[in-house]
Amino acid sequence: MRTILIVGGGYAGFYTAWKLEKKLRRGEARVIVVDPRPYMTYQPFLPEVLAGSVEARHAAVSLRRHLRRTEIVAGRVTRVDHAHKTVTVRPAVGAEYPLEYDIIVVTAGAVTRTLAIPGVTEHAIGMKHVEEAVAIRDRMLTAFDQAAGLPPGPLRRKLLTVTFVGGGFSGVEGFGELLALAKALVRRYPELSSDELSSDELSFHLVEARDRILPEVSDKPGEWVVRSLTKRGAHVHLNAHLLSASGGHVVLSTGEEFDSELIVWTVGNAANPMVHNHTDLPIDGRGMLLVRPDLRVGTEGAPVPEAWGAGDDAAIPDLAAERPGVSTVPNAQHAVRQGKLLARNLIATLRGREPRPYVHHSLGVVATLGLGLGIFQFHRLVIKGFPAWLMHRGYHALAVPTWERKVRVLAVWATAVPFGRDIVSLTSVQHPREAFLAGANPRMPEPAETADARVDIVTAGDAPRS
Ligand SMILES: Cc1cc2nc3c(=O)[nH]c(=O)nc-3n(C[C@H](O)[C@H](O)[C@H](O)COP(=O)(O)OP(=O)(O)OC[C@H]3O[C@@H](n4cnc5c(N)ncnc54)[C@H](O)[C@@H]3O)c2cc1C
């Protein structure tokens, strides 16, 4: 039996394996997915995870639960040696080991692009993974709790200042959702919603190097999004580069400077370093896997036998584009469809049939800008505001894989209608032993909370036992 090894169980990898499970005959091939994460991240839900409208766990689609006939290997592929049909796997625990295959599918996705700007690696946080979305939300909620105990002033202002760097699709969605959450939160904090909280104090900045945001929509709808965010109190800095974020002090090329507690980095994708540096498969000048329209690795005249690729790590000719020589853009619309076609094409070649080329005409763009507000564009048709937001939710409720996920997400959306969103920060989960240790050893050094908490610990420990 032949072994098909899929590197990366994200969008493209998950759908490839899912389709292979459905279409392969019993005993026809063994399928393995290698991924350090036990789940596929439904990234379009991350902006709503930020806002608390989608539970973090619901944006994670379990590989083991939904890929029942696939072997799941928890580990990171550190090298692909296609000449010897072997990958090197680094598990979370233990030494690296080789894994042999007959056919490889490379769907390792992209990574967040970073730039050498002072302070960014120390202070900024990306928005590509569930843990990042949870941390962004928790940090803002914690900042509100901290600010509520402070008098108006520079520290309180810093705590209430949020900066997103990068006005692309995910940046604008995350920014709009977090802004909506912050506006709703202020009502729960009487200390902050008094007159003393001037509009300057709760301050949201979106920094974009180009002269427009959301390049996925055309100019006019893009301008509408800027106006809509500005009307909601946001500062949109166009033609502005981030020069420094050292110590959380943001300096822009426009001369503007401000302190910001939360800096979210959404400047787009870079090639996956494993694909770029550690395979003997062909890559292009940007470090992307060279993939043919039929999703086999290689060029038009020279396919690499037994190697396939799809998704954000691959440069795939876009046969639906008006201009020749263009690659498919990195988005879920393509990754899902490429994954499904890849599985069909792979099975076709196993059975001696010809693979088909990948052609997909965009279904348009739909983005959330915060609770009840969105934008949709399909060619010249533009829909704004509440109807677009409903379309966004409807589309993603249909698109998230498996009925189990759909029902869970819909249930959270439904319960939010009467009860609203949860607004507690759980940053304490990062120090789960703190409370336990404080209880077990009452004379240990204080856990650095408040003076009142210290009194409680000493009193409880010293109290005579009856
Ligand atoms: C916040 C956000 C919102 C988005 N919203 C939309 C949207 O509304 N519509 C849309 O069309 N697109 C959207 N996208 C883009 C879309 O999510 C991506 O284009 C899509 O996830 C790409 O799929 P992929 O399989 O190529 O990569 P991914 O889904 O990123 O999966 C890659 C997988 O490979 C694994 N991996 C990486 N390196 C290795 C390795 N060395 N070894 C083993 N495994 C590895 C990773 O752990 C991951 O599971 C959004 C993206 C973000 C970040």
The pLDDT tens digits of the residues spanning 412-460 come to 999 999 998 888 888 888 888 888 888 776 666 655 544 444 434 333 3
Quick one: which atom of ligand 1 is closest to the CA of 392? 8
| Residue 44 beta carbon below 6 angstroms from any ligand 1 atom | yes
The pLDDT tens digits of the residues spanning 384-419 come to 999 999 999 999 999 999 999 999 999 999 999 999
Distances (CA, A) of 299 to 273, 289, 293, 308, 352: 21, 10, 9, 12, 21
| Residue 274 beta carbon below 6 angstroms from any ligand 1 atom | yes
Angle formed by the axes of helices 169-186 and 130-148, nearest 10°: 30
| Residue 46 beta carbon below 6 angstroms from any ligand 1 atom | yes
Segment among 141-150, 208-217, 418-427 with least mean pLDDT: 418-427
69 pLDDT above the threshold of 60 = yes
Give the tokens for residue 378.
């399909």
Q: Looking at residue 356, what DSSP letter applies?
A: P
Question: pTM here?
Answer: 0.91
pLDDT score, position 327: 95
pLDDT score, position 462: 40
Q: Torsion angle of alpha carbons 209, 368, 11, 165, nearest 10°?
A: 20
End-to-end CA distance of the chain: 71
**177 CA from centroid of ligand 1 (Å):** 20
- Which whole number is the average pLDDT over 343-364? 96
Classify 254 as helix, strand or coil: coil
**8 CA from centroid of ligand 1 (Å):** 9
pLDDT score, position 426: 85
Phi, psi of 368 (to 5 degrees): -90, 145
Phi, psi of 460 (to 5 degrees): -60, -40
Ligand 1: residue of 39, 43, 312 to mutate (most ligand atoms within 8 A of CB) is 43
d(CA 89, CA 92): 10
376 pLDDT above the threshold of 80 = yes
What is the helix (H) or strand (E) element at residue 384, kind and residue range?
A: strand 381-385
pLDDT score, position 64: 96
Q: Which residues contact 452 (CB under 8 A, 6 or more apart)?
A: none
The pLDDT tens digits of the residues spanning 247-277 come to 999 999 999 999 999 999 999 899 999 999 9
d(CA 363, CA 68): 31
| Residue 35 beta carbon below 6 angstroms from any ligand 1 atom | yes
Quick one: which atom of ligand 1 is closest to the CA of 333? 11
pLDDT score, position 463: 41
How does residue 466 score in pLDDT terms, banded at 50, 70 and 90? very low
pLDDT score, position 445: 60
| Residue 36 beta carbon below 6 angstroms from any ligand 1 atom | yes
pLDDT score, position 424: 84
pLDDT score, position 201: 81
**299 CA from centroid of ligand 1 (Å):** 24
- In sequence order, which ranges of 103-259 are alpha helices (DSSP H)? 120-123, 130-148, 154-159, 169-186, 190-193, 219-231
**149 CA from centroid of ligand 1 (Å):** 39
| Helices vs strands, H then E, count in the chain | 15, 26
| Residue 447 beta carbon below 6 angstroms from any ligand 1 atom | no
**Rounded to an integer, what is the distance from CA 5 to the centroid of its chain?**
24
What is the rounded radius of gyration, in angstroms, for the C-alpha atoms of the chain? Answer: 25
Ligand 1: residue of 5, 7, 11, 42 to mutate (most ligand atoms within 8 A of CB) is 11
Give the tokens for residue 430.
């990062």
Segment among 52-61, 64-73, 457-466 with least mean pLDDT: 457-466
| Residue 330 beta carbon below 6 angstroms from any ligand 1 atom | yes
| Residue 207 beta carbon below 6 angstroms from any ligand 1 atom | no
The pLDDT tens digits of the residues spanning 158-190 come to 999 999 999 999 999 999 999 999 999 988 888
pLDDT score, position 389: 97
pLDDT score, position 450: 44
Quick one: which atom of ligand 1 is closest to the CA of 45? 3
On average, the pLDDT of the chain sits at: 92
pLDDT score, position 455: 38
Which region, left, alpha or beta, applies to residue 73 given φ > 0 means left and ψ of -120 to 50 means alpha? Answer: beta
Task: Give the rounded percent of residues in the chain with a pLDDT score beyond 70.
Answer: 93
Q: What angle do CA 66, 413, 177 make, to 5 degrees?
A: 100
